Amino acid sequence: MNIWLIVLCALIICTPIGFSTGALIYGAVIKHRATRPVEYYPPRGSSPIDVLIKYYGHRADTHALLNPMMLYWAERGFITIEEDCKRGLKLTKLKDIEPPANATRLTKSQKRNFDAETTLFNALFAHNKVFYTLAAQSSHNKTVSTFIKDCKKSANLSRSRIARKCSIVSYIATGLSMVLVTLICGLSDGGPQYLMMIFPIVGVIAFCSIPNDGETIALIKYPFFAVWGGAPAGIALSIYPRTISILIACALIASIITLTITAPRIDIRTPKSADIYGRICAFKTFLRDAEIDRLETLVKDDPNYFFDILPYCYVLKITDTLKAKFDHISLDGPSWYLGDMRDTLMF
């Protein structure tokens, strides 16, 4: 194979992965440079859902939102929480939920999140003012599942336009690179075997396009595309000369990396979003690094401080760090929690 064709193929292979990696690094630089003032509380007017999405972006894991939401509702006076040995936690509705405190005007993202929160809250207490977590019916499980999906959808919609465009460009460039490399290698070799590469090309694109919604889809998806793309690719690569086989294999590997790792993780924040991200980072850093004496002073100034921030600590995954510090601080139990084993829910 001509050396210039090899160089051309190498450039085609490197372009999509280089572009997506560059966009990924650019987004990381923006987040790294975000201003981080000293913050003792999460951003004003933000619910745990808002903080989760603003901090983690479109890759936010929304599956662990139920506990922080229960604490958030209880702290704001919407429910009480009581331990029940047989039926888990007993949630008693006190009043309908309201938008986040101190939120003068909800953004589109906050409105979507509040709508999802309202739907979940109303569904849990649709027929009774009391809800037991372990005695929940299948309909409630579906409601929670829908809530999780709605929050995930909101997280996906939170991506900036430039981030979405960069991902789309990466996907298109990846598909074109696989096709071009296959055509160049096939035409230079002169055989028709390159047509078999249609299967792995379509397979890689389809595999990355189909979401893993549910265990059943995952069980079918992986074996199907392994056979669909793997067998024809293996046959084609065994027929081609070594140089061509290496180029095509590199094109497939680079495409898989781009489609599954770099392109989906592109997260380029707008200035406003980067500002909120920086404040959340500052809040997390303060709690992680603060001395016990400083936290004790905050609790003395605001006895509800610990319970105000606890739902957000769940979201930021720092409850273990927080527990080790607040174990040394005297806290009065909240009026909305009835039970002796507060660690069961709070950590």
Query: What is the rounded end-to-end Cα distance, in angstroms, of the chain?
Result: 62
pLDDT of amino acid 87: 77
Q: Measured at the alpha carbon of residue 175, what is the angle toward residues 244 and 248, in degrees to the nearest 5?
A: 10
User: Which residues have CB under 8 Å from 300's CB, separation 6+?
Assistant: none
Strands 88-93 and 130-132: antiparallel
pLDDT of amino acid 250: 87
Residue at token pair 């606890």: 310
Q: 89 has which bridge partners?
A: 83
Could you list the beta-strand ranges (E) of 120-163. 130-132
Among candidate residues 330, 329, 328, 327, the one with its CA nearest the CA of residue 346: 327
Sheet containing 130-132: give its strands across: 130-132, 88-93, 79-84, 337-338
Tell me the two tokens of residue 229. Answer: 């793309």
Q: Is the pLDDT of residue 291 over 70?
A: yes
What tens digit of pLDDT does each residue of 11-27 get?
999 999 999 999 999 99
Backbone angles phi, psi at 143, to 5 degrees: -65, -45
Q: How confident is the model at residue 100 (pLDDT cuts 50, 70, 90)?
A: confident
In this prediction, residues 221-231 reach a mean pLDDT of 70
Q: CA 123: distance to chain centroid?
A: 25
DSSP type of residue 108? H
Helix (H) or strand (E) holding 254: helix 242-257
In this prediction, residues 46-53 reach a mean pLDDT of 95
Residues in the chain, how many? 347
Among candidate residues 79, 98, 48, 67, the one with its CA nearest the CA of residue 334: 79
Q: How far apart are CA 191 and CA 1, in angstroms?
A: 13
Average pLDDT, the chain: 85
Q: What is the pTM of this model?
A: 0.85
Q: Is the pLDDT of residue 69 over 70?
A: yes
Q: How far apart are CA 68 and CA 315, in angstroms?
A: 7
R_g over Cα of the chain:
26
In this prediction, residues 155-169 reach a mean pLDDT of 93
Q: Is the pLDDT of residue 278 over 90?
A: yes
